[in-house]
Amino acid sequence: MDRQFIPRSVQRSSFARFAAWILPWILLLGLGLYAMYLCLAEGLNQTNMDNRFAFGLWIYLDLTVIALGAGAFFTGFLLYILRREELKAVINSAVVLGLICYSGAVAVLMVDVGQPLRAWFTFWHPNTHSMLTEVTFCLTCYLTVLAIEYVPVVLKNRKLRQIPRFLVFEFELHKVMPVFAGIGTFLSFFHQGSLGGLYGVLVGRPFAFREVLGIWPSTFYLFILSAAAVGPSFVLLTTWLVQKLSGKQLVKPEVLRFLGKVSGWMLIVYVLLKTVDTLYWINHTAPAEGAPAYTFYTSPGFGTWILFAEIILLGLLPAIMLLSKRLRERPAVLVSAAFLACCGIVMNRFVMTIQTLALPTLPFDQMMSYVPSWQEIATFLAIVAYGVVLYSLSFRYMTLFPQERDIRQ
């Protein structure tokens, strides 16, 4: 019944099957919206956060999806600035993923901070000494850029492109896309970095505090690098997943291998610098703060295995797998490596947010525990559901993978 809206020459499931797929996600989204309403109407007492454990599941989600969403800016940078034309095959999908990640993050922030009607205060009363102000500014601008980048994808819909005004606007917008790709790169560089810098300047939290390099703490640079390293892996992983779910080959294998290679090189540099940073922190920064590093790994459940898992298992290992041409040519290895790399960033952001706050900082402190409330979890799941719904609609009605038609032939 919706064949007229689906791009020509590509096969999609029947509308009934698509509806059956999307309906549970819409219900989940509905539940999440109700939880968001409760938080905004009743206040943050709906959550299990308090004045001491002020960063919970939501901030963790924010940091994670923003890092994974870096695939949009980095793919755009490689395509429009470095002219890696093969990435045309995934750029639309990367833009949709970026938009989902960033708009989801902003939506959760709106609930987390509360008082969304006063969101403009951050621009009118900016605290120019706060890393969060930089993050807010960059996030807002970059979300605008992503929305603009998404417009041509939408306007290329089969029905919409029949409207001459839309067609012409899409064409002209496409011409200025390198400018937006450049701005996106610039903004991403700063907000990814500032999200990391935010933890690095926590002088009262020796687990997170890092030395300043230039004008920013080392976590500023590590966050940029890790996001840029994992972004292409996330695009690779989602493309593979969509191929599996749809039962179609959507891009040529060499495109995925190229994404893996880029991710591998970035990841190895990140692992190297992260190792140096960790060693310096263990030997200098933490002791100088009066807290020997081993004390952070004595709490139950938070042993040194975390360091091993984060740097070796989910950092070095996938980097080696992605860098080896022989291994990269085996799809199972390529996808597994991308999955491990994504898990690495998920773990890193967990360590930086949850572990940082959970660990005791004073001699009389206990290890704090925090379990998110159902409202927090429902809000989290709503963002996942929103992402699935928006991506599914985009995949069905827009051309996310232009090579699909070529491959069919």
- Please identify which residue in 23, 176, 367, 393 interacts with another protein, judged by CB under 8 A: 176
- Please identify which residue in 171, 294, 305, 308 interacts with another protein, judged by CB under 8 A: 171
Task: Print the binding letters for residues 185-214 with another protein: x by CB under 8 A, - otherwise.
Answer: -xx---------------------------
CB 334 within 8 A of CB 257: yes
Task: Print the binding letters for residues 235-254 with another protein: x by CB under 8 A, - otherwise.
Answer: -------------x------
Question: Residue 387 CB, nearest distance to another protein (Å)?
Answer: 24
Task: Print the binding letters for residues 28-57 with another protein: x by CB under 8 A, - otherwise.
Answer: ------------------------------
CB 86 within 8 A of CB 257: no
Q: Which residues contact 190 (CB under 8 A, 6 or more apart)?
A: 134, 138
Residue 336's H or E segment, with its range, is: helix 331-350
Tell me which residue has tokens 């409760």.
38
- Please identify which residue in 113, 119, 183, 333 interacts with another protein, judged by CB under 8 A: 183
Identify which of residues 171 and 294 has a Cβ nearer to another protein in the complex. Answer: 171
Site for another protein in 9-28 (CB under 8 A): 9-11
Identify which of residues 124 and 364 has a Cβ nearer to another protein in the complex. Answer: 124
Question: Residue 141 CB, nearest distance to another protein (Å)?
Answer: 5
CB 157 within 8 A of CB 5: yes
Q: Cα–Cα distances in Å, from 224 out to 195, 200, 229, 277, 312?
A: 9, 13, 8, 14, 19
- Which region, judged by CB under 8 A, interacts with another protein, from 4-12, 43-51, 52-60, 220-228? 4-12
Residues 207, 362: Cα–Cα separation, whole Å: 12
- Please identify which residue in 251, 399, 400, 401 interacts with another protein, judged by CB under 8 A: 399
User: By CB under 8 A, is residue 172 in contact with another protein?
Assistant: yes
CB 197 within 8 A of CB 129: no
Q: Which residues contact 65 (CB under 8 A, 6 or more apart)?
A: 101, 102, 104, 105, 383
User: By CB under 8 A, is residue 118 in contact with another protein?
Assistant: no
- Amino acid of residue 383: I
Tell me which residue has tokens 């935010």.
198
φ, ψ dihedrals at 217, nearest 5°: -70, 160
Radius of gyration of the CA atoms of the chain, in A: 22
Taking the mean position of all CA atoms in its chain, how far away is CA 19? 27
Helices (H), ranges, 201-304: 218-246, 253-280, 286-288
Q: Cα–Cα distances in Å, from 194 out to 131, 139, 281?
A: 6, 11, 19
User: By CB under 8 A, is residue 338 in contact with another protein?
Assistant: no
User: By CB under 8 A, is residue 126 in contact with another protein?
Assistant: yes
User: By CB under 8 A, is residue 372 in contact with another protein?
Assistant: no
Task: Print the binding letters for residues 131-150 with another protein: x by CB under 8 A, - otherwise.
Answer: --xx--x---x--xx--x--
Compute how many residues bind another protein; rule: CB under 8 A. 45
- Which region, judged by CB under 8 A, interacts with another protein, from 182-190, 290-298, 315-323, 390-398? 182-190
Where do contacts with another protein occur on this chain (CB under 8 A)? 3-4, 7-11, 123-126, 128-129, 133-134, 137, 141, 144-145, 148, 156, 161, 164-165, 167-173, 175-176, 179-180, 183, 186-187, 248, 399, 402, 405-406, 408-409
